[in-house]
Amino acid sequence: HIQRPQDAGRVAEQMVQVLSHKFDLGDQHSFLGASVGIATFPEDGASAEELLKNADTAMYRAKSGGRSQAVYFEEGMNTEAVARLMLDRDLRLAIERGELVLHYQPQLDLRTGAIRSAEALLRWQHPGRGLIAPNRFIPLAEESGFIEQIGQWVICEACSQMKAWQTDGLPLGQVAVNVSPRQFRKSGLVGFIRDCVAQTGVSPTCLEIEITEGLLVDHATVVEGMLGELAAMGIGIALDDFGTGFSSMAYLKRFPVDTIKIDRTFIEGLGRSADSEVIVTAVIAMSHALGKIVIAEGVETGEQLALLRKLGCDEIQGYYLSPALPAAQFAAFVRSRELVAS
Ligand code: C2E
Ligand code: MG
Ligand code: MG
């Protein structure tokens, strides 16, 4: 019998703890986790229905707060839940209404001084809230699974844009798109990309997909096969935010990764912390030894650029060169750089 709200929390914590132990399933080590939401009578609801609904809301908070924990329901959570629900509903309409847009951030080849490639970055032109950054809605779409449809739209849009630029004679080698781990859960991803490339008529070598280290660590075997198929088609594979996850050199050897993108946090420290410089130097050396191209993300100053050049980095991307731009502005930017270079 639970008499006081504090007791509920204690029981929940014990449950979470008991469940968190490793257990063996055949010859596999397995882990279970639990996220617990707590609502108490009569403070959080007068009926069983209301109590369950509020406990559910608290449980979602426990999940999004990092899982394996117990969270008490609080009044403010409902308004937040409603806001999320509305955002989720709006997002489902966003594709139909044509509110999603891709902006393109140029990537500079330090050896030639030319813009070799671009990263496509998603934005949501919301009718009421203006331009919404991906970090505000992609986590939600990943949770709901809607990222699969959004991701498909992104791939198609980037391929047709690339084709249009090539038809216009824009000297651009490759466009990179970010692909969420969740998109790899569907075995149809490779086929979808293949169809998209075929339908738009863009060469597969003009497309690169950006994945994160977590994908390689968590679902290694399935992902290895899928990446292998994409690589066999000629599609480039880049490892995004490198250094923030838990992958190792072994992963870099095992998977067909062409490009390593050094995370912005390490670039930020260049010129300021000796550690950052050591890490960047090591990543560049290691990547080159494995035959991979290195891009530095989030380059904001000329000092960082000069240092990266000195360290032998292949490409840079960042506000110092340009933020992500709408397609037409991006093309104009590439053309203006060509004039300077020639
Ligand atoms: P990311 O793939 O690592 O993209 C780089 C982010 O850093 C972009 O933010 C870019 O605008 C920003 N950035 C570029 N240069 C600088 C700089 O010099 N300084 C600073 N402070 N920031 C810089 P953005 O566009 O807000 O995207 C954030 C994240 O959202 C991306 O990180 C990516 O993980 C995700 N994302 C964006 N578009 C898509 C998409 O189409 N699909 C999926 N699944 N994820 C996407
Ligand atoms: Mg990226
Ligand atoms: Mg990144």
pTM, to two decimals: 0.82
What is the per-residue pLDDT across 120-136, written as a single tens digit (0 to 9) for each? 999 999 988 899 999 98
Residue 5 has pLDDT above 80, yes or no: no
Q: Which of 276, 268, 324, 333 is nearest to 298 (CA)?
A: 268
Our mutation pick for probing the ligand 1 site, out of 121, 297, 325, counting the most ligand atoms within 8 A of Cβ, is 121
Nearest CA to ligand 1 atom 4: 121
Nearest CA to ligand 1 atom 25: 121
Q: Which atom of ligand 1 is nearest to the CA of 102?
A: 41
Calculate what percentage of the chain has a pLDDT beyond 70: 99
- Tokens matching residue 83: 């806001």
Our mutation pick for probing the ligand 1 site, out of 140, 178, 270, counting the most ligand atoms within 8 A of Cβ, is 178
Q: Residue 340's pLDDT band (boundaries 50, 70, 90)?
A: low
Residue 31 has pLDDT above 90, yes or no: no
What is the per-residue pLDDT across 186-218, written as a single tens digit (0 to 9) for each? 889 999 999 999 999 999 999 999 999 988 888
3-state secondary structure 57-117: HHHHHHHHCCCCCEEECCCHHHHHHHHHHHHHHHHHHHHHCCCEEEEEEEEEECCCCCEEE
Q: Calculate how far, in angstroms, residue 65's C-alpha sits from the geometric centre of ligand 1.
A: 22
> Residue 203: what are its φ and ψ, rounded to 5°?
-75, 135
> How far is the C-alpha of 151 from the C-alpha of 148, rounded, in Å?
5
Strands 207-212 and 236-242, how do they pair?
parallel
